[in-house]
Amino acid sequence: MSDKPNVLLVIADGMQASTIEGGSDCLTPHFDRLAKRGIQFGKAYCATPTCSPSRASIMTGLLPHNHGVLEVSHGRDEDQCRLRDDNAHFAQRLLENGYSTAYFGKWHVERSNCLEDFGWQLNRVKSDEHVKYMGVGDDGGLPVDPELSRWFEGPVKGYNRILHYGVTDVPPQERYAHKTVDEALQFLEKTQSEAAKKTWCACVSFSEPNEALVVSRETFNQYEVESIELPKNLRDDYSGKPNLYRREGAISKGKSDEEWRMALACYYGRVTEVDAQLGRLLDWLDDSAQMENTVVIATADHGRYVGSHGFDAHNFGAFEEIYRVPLTIAGPNIKSGVETQAKVSLPSLCPTILELTDAKEISELDGRSFADVLQNPDGKEDDYGSTYGEYHGTRFPLCQRILWDGDWKFVFNGFDFDELYDLKSDPAEMHNLAAHPGQKERVEYMMAEIWKRAKESGDKTIVETHYYSMRFASVGPNEG
């Protein structure tokens, strides 16, 4: 057995952290199974709640303003969505360290789809064109039961008709997620031959549970729609919050509780189908006696609302449902059966993987390795008490920078008034305290911390805002 561990990275798309936590209506037996073997992070956050920049942050360890991909790669012209050439990727470091590398499923980091340029020797990925048209349903539009589906056409004229949710009789075995794992398992089988026996790193990446919420009937039937709990913040009236949230909420204003329960049932079903594919990979590791020498990382690029705050998708708002992601890690020298509230970010996966594999470091990263938490999580909540995120808008450019510090969360909005939430007493983020007179000192402190993070990470776009018309933060950049 090699001294270096294998690495299996599983990335879901648009998966709320709450789906794998106690009390959830979502069925995830294999995420639970992995959690018993390793550590489950209750406070893991993406860098930004959009696919391409978040996935690029996982690969490079950088915040979006540093790797250059600020929104989905298919939504911009070629010169506006390219990864910067001088950014190193963790797969390149693993290659240099003698690993075989392979990538399967959704890439959506940049447009070339030449993954070998980024360290992935073998790759079987979806094209950007495939990803671009997935709003109509998996693989270009699966047949759905008209009685158990909902097409979205409102609330104003002039937009394409899109499928919100639906139930299909096409079984999971015939859909892309299952086929992605089929290809991954073929690669893993080949790693066992004497001719190809090398330490390996495989990334298995899904479009699920995001996109149109199409679920197989056999999975949907595991759920009792009427008993699904609706989000406590479903009917947020947005009082004291940016006006953009009110505008976004108007899109779904006419949806009934029954429609939201159906959407949640289909969403949870898609999570359950991803969970089943994770189970197939874990079964292979068990059956091949590779589990004890493999670091398994299961996470998602970002979350999804599915009714929280009256929103769906994941493109506007700085709320927990789209920033907080599942993260469970198991493997050699990693504590088992532990939950931690240490705050970590997805850009930190890159240096963590490099440390766990004894690969060469990448200098000047925005993420920091949290390998020490994996080995001994006791008392690490204070050492990992804050984290940071940023948002540049999706198709409609806007600016948000987010700081999580202890129980508090502050959102600097470059387009409207700011937000401050006490996540301990107000986990649903219903009460914005940013304008409360008693919170003035906290707001100024947290804004100064955001300026500090912006300076440290070279975020010149917002640091250099001394111009007359841009002086609307609670304190200026010189306080950071």
pLDDT classification of 442: cutoffs 50, 70, 90? very high
393/422 same-domain check:
no
User: Residue 463 is part of a domain; what is its CATH number?
Assistant: 3.30.1120.10
420/322 same-domain check:
no
Residue 457 has pLDDT above 70, yes or no: yes
467/362 same-domain check:
no
- DSSP E strand stretches across 316-468: 327-330, 338-345, 386-391, 400-405, 408-413, 419-422
For 319-367, the pLDDT digits (tens) are 999 999 999 999 999 999 999 999 999 999 999 999 999 999 999 999 9
Contact indicator for 372, 380 with CB cutoff of 8 Å: yes
106/214 same-domain check:
yes
What is the model's pLDDT at position 1?
Answer: 46
61/146 same-domain check:
yes
Quick count: other Cβ atoms within 10 Å of Cβ 232?
11
Instruction: Among 398, 425, 442, identify where a domain stops.
Output: 398
pTM over 0.85, yes/no = yes
429/454 same-domain check:
yes
pLDDT classification of 262: cutoffs 50, 70, 90? very high
124/169 same-domain check:
yes
58/113 same-domain check:
yes
| Any domain includes 283 | yes
158/115 same-domain check:
yes
Question: Structurally, how many domains does the chain consist of?
Answer: 2
Domain extent at residue 304? 6-398
296/414 same-domain check:
no
Contact indicator for 469, 463 with CB cutoff of 8 Å: no
